[in-house]
Amino acid sequence: MSDVSNSDTVSPPAGDSMQEFYQLQRELLLITLGLTGIIFICVWYFYSTNIALNYLLGACTGVVYLKLLARNVERLGREKAQTGKSHIAVFVGLIIVATQWNQLHVMPVFLGFLTYKGTLLIYTFRSLMSTPGDR
């Protein structure tokens, strides 16, 4: 008999996977905040304060959206019920406010909201470029 252990088929304990999830959640939040700061300064420099603040409103709403998505994912393992739709309401509410309020411009608000997507792209590219031993 051989003494070879097959560690690939053993799943990590639930605590370890949740710890990885919280680490990923924290990392995505920090990348989003950093990206938001960089883009906000660039928009402020090249456009106006009003446009930059519109972008910032959308980006902050995107952070709230990202946190709600993370909360829904966290609940998936514990609850058998379907995930909530509150994250969609955040986006719809933002767009409705942006279209109805005269001082807001829809495009910078919408692009600010999409900042969290840029975070996901950065994380994905970084994961693809890292070697398997780095993860």
CA atoms within 13 A on the CB side of 10: 6
Q: What is the pLDDT of residue 71?
A: 83
Rounded to 5°, angle at Cα 59 from 56 and 62: 155
Is the Cβ–Cβ distance between 10 and 90 less than 8 Å? Answer: no
64 Cβ contact partners less than 8 Å away, ≥ 6 residues apart: 90
Is the Cβ–Cβ distance between 65 and 114 less than 8 Å? Answer: no
Q: What percent of the chain has pLDDT over 70?
A: 77
- What band does 42 get if pLDDT is binned at 50, 70 and 90? very high
Q: Considering only residues 38 and 7, tell me which one the structure prediction assigns the higher pLDDT.
A: 38
Q: What is the pLDDT of residue 1?
A: 45
Q: Domain limits of the chain?
A: 16-128
Q: What is the pTM of this model?
A: 0.74
Q: Considering only residues 90 and 84, tell me which one the structure prediction assigns the higher pLDDT.
A: 90
Residue 133 has pLDDT above 80, yes or no: no
Structure token pair of residue 6: 């097959």
Q: What is the pLDDT of residue 5?
A: 44
| pLDDT, average across residues 57-79 | 82
Residue 130 has pLDDT above 90, yes or no: no
116 Cβ contact partners less than 8 Å away, ≥ 6 residues apart: 28, 32, 62, 63, 65, 66
